[in-house]
A and B are shown apart, each in its own frame.
Chain A
Amino acid sequence: MRHVLSSLIAFAPAALLVSAPVFAQAPVTAKPAPAAKNWTMPRTPDGKPDLQGTYSNATTVPVARPAYLGAKEFYTDEADKVASAAQAPAGRGGGRAAAPRAAAAVVVPEEGGLAVHYDTSQFGLGGPTVKRAASLRTSIITGPEGRVPPMLPEAQKMVAEKRAYQQAHQWDSAQNRPLAERCITWGFEGPPMMPVGYNSTLEIVQGQGYVAIVQEMIHDTRIIPTDGRPHGPSEIKRWMGDSVGHWEGDTLVVETVNYNPQVVIQGGPVSDAAKVTERFTRIDADTITYQFTVDDPKTWTKPFSGEYNMVHIDGPVYEYACHEGNYGMANNLSGARATEKK
């Protein structure tokens, strides 16, 4: 029961820890697809590309490329995608985990946990009801390896120690629970922003000198100054880091540093040397190409990059009052206390 409960609630951090990086790779900063023909970049009143609107960054593209696809970065077409999935090897690390699918639909548990099927279609939260940008990518992480590089030994040690501690003390207190379960961060806000299991919805609003991004999970607003100011003092750490932006042509480039040390990116601890660069480029009436590079020389053996498209949706972004409705926290802890008394 405990496992089921915890997996249900904590699937997000679990999913982050899944991919075991194998290959090294070089960061890729490819240019986004050229803008659609017969389409003119809409502009805000002060002449900047207008990125405003509500978007979904849900995708069927997995973060890490399934191993059996090797260095194949793109499918040739939809038929190739289907044919490739059919050839996926069965079993763990093969078919289920590796075949391209909605990351939303299946929880891949931590080692030793139970597999829980989180049926989002049951709640009208995901599955076929969600609009996704079409993509022939085989993985969000770009480059020949298509997965995050290995962590440095010290970072691996930190992750292992934290996991061991967590397993031994997971029900001791609210503070021992994963950040997502505590409604502090969902783990996908980033930067880099990653598709969430469900409610992969965000809204962009541009004011004079600022771009603001609200992500539904967990109603976090990132306000990015684009007025040329430097980063804030390094003493001030933030859950979503300290972002400043500038325009390079029609691309919004955002650099983020000063992360709260409890933040995890792709399973790796974020160090005080972490810098994430994001690029937002609107490529047609409905689509923004989102690219990112994670550079954290104290955690990763080399930087890595990723890319996906986010697609315009009608919205709205709902209010995700996670903490306010977090009955699960008290229920789980009191369940654990009751079990101890048995």
Chain B
Amino acid sequence: MHFRSRKSRLGGWLVVAGAAATLLSLAVIPTPAQAPAFKAPKTKDGKANLNGIWQANNEANWDIRPHSSYAGPVSSLGAAYSTPAGLGVVEGGEIPYKPEAAAKQKQNFADRMKLDPEIKCYMGGVPRSTYMPYPFQIVQGTGHIMIAYEYAGAVRDINMGAPTKAPADSWMGWSNGHWEGDTLVVDVTSLNDSTWFDRAGNFHSDALHVIERYTPIGPDALQYEATIDDPKVFTRQWKMSMPLYRRLEKNAQLLEYKCVEFAEEVLYGHLRKQPVQGKGDSK
């Protein structure tokens, strides 16, 4: 198109020069309509190299939808544990709930202190684990890719061979992956119905099917997309997307957030012997 418009205004050999200049400019400066074609560094076996420690840097864990800031559920924690505003990560902003599911989400939010699986240190599921405020690490093996999450020590094993079927439903689901160019595409099935999408009570059923796409968009960033399909809860498929950032600290590493200890009082505190008899065996 560019080429043609130039041709109409300029004649003869200038066309050639113009075309060359256009190609050159396209190669160097991306036009707004075109994403820069980032050439992902490759592993020695020629795959896009996703190895690294990654983390989302957004407010999706509070609410994946666009939202204003609001007070947290524990008033004594004041501004420190309230909710920051967020642009949302749901494409189009709306989650297409069926009417009864929309009501359940509102109830989940109202009862979140009792119901949010994060409070109980339950594994985050997919996609929530990706954008919880903790890093995760991709260890890219040849036949399998492992994703280890700091939160709750959750882990996923992505089978890169011929797709296999889940032996049972689980918290982190069953992942079969393949490459589409530089994009790692992961098909996630057999997720249980016990995880949420965020702290706002956005939820799914055990019919959830997630297709994730991890695409390098720069040396230190991936674009993450998750297509959500759950006919029991939503009227149609919908998609969330966000960048993930590499942790660039020289000594970056996944540490432990084995949160069971931090959730025991909330889960079992009412069953304590009263009064408390000294410290526990492992304190």
Chain A interfacial positions (CB closer than 8 Å to B): 44-46, 50, 52, 162, 165-166, 169-179, 182-184, 203, 205-210, 212, 214, 218-221, 223, 225, 229, 232, 236, 238-240, 262, 316-319, 321, 323-324, 329-330, 333-334, 336-337, 340
Could you say which residues of chain A place their CB within 8 Å of the CB of B277?
169, 172
Q: In the complex, what distance in Å separates the CA atom of A324 from the CA atom of B170?
A: 11
Q: In the complex, what distance in Å separates the CA atom of A319 from the CA atom of B261?
A: 20
Q: In the complex, what distance in Å separates the CA atom of A236 from the CA atom of B256?
A: 9
B49 touches which of A179, A208, A220, A229 (Cβ 8 Å)? A208
Q: In the complex, what distance in Å separates the CA atom of A139 from the CA atom of B153?
A: 32
B153 to chain A, nearest CB (A): 6
Q: Is the CB of A169 within 8 A of B278?
A: yes
B172 beta carbon closer than 8 Å to chain A: yes
Q: Is the CB of B144 within 8 A of A203?
A: yes
Q: In the complex, what distance in Å separates the CA atom of A262 from the CA atom of B281?
A: 9
Q: In the complex, what distance in Å separates the CA atom of A283 from the CA atom of B273?
A: 53
1/0 contact string of B26-58 vs chain A (CB within 8 Å): 000000000000000001110001010000000
Could you say which residues of chain B place their CB within 8 Å of the CB of A221?
146, 148, 153, 155
B271 touches which of A170, A179, A330 (Cβ 8 Å)? A330
Chain B interfacial positions (CB closer than 8 Å to A): 43-45, 49, 51, 121-123, 137-146, 148, 152-155, 157, 164, 167-168, 170-172, 194, 251, 253-256, 258, 260-261, 263-264, 267-269, 271-273, 276-283
The winner among A179, A316, A318 for most chain B CB atoms within 10 A is A316
Q: In the complex, what distance in Å separates the CA atom of A161 from the CA atom of B169?
A: 43
B157 touches which of A175, A209, A316, A321 (Cβ 8 Å)? A316
Return the chain A residue nearest B171 by Cβ: A321
Q: Is the CB of B122 within 8 A of A324?
A: yes
Q: Is the CB of B140 within 8 A of A207?
A: yes
Return the chain B residue nearest A321 by Cβ: B171
B280 touches which of A46, A176, A329, A333 (Cβ 8 Å)? A176
Q: Is the CB of A205 within 8 A of B139?
A: yes
Could you say which residues of chain A place their CB within 8 Å of the CB of B256?
238-240
B258 touches which of A171, A176, A184 (Cβ 8 Å)? A184
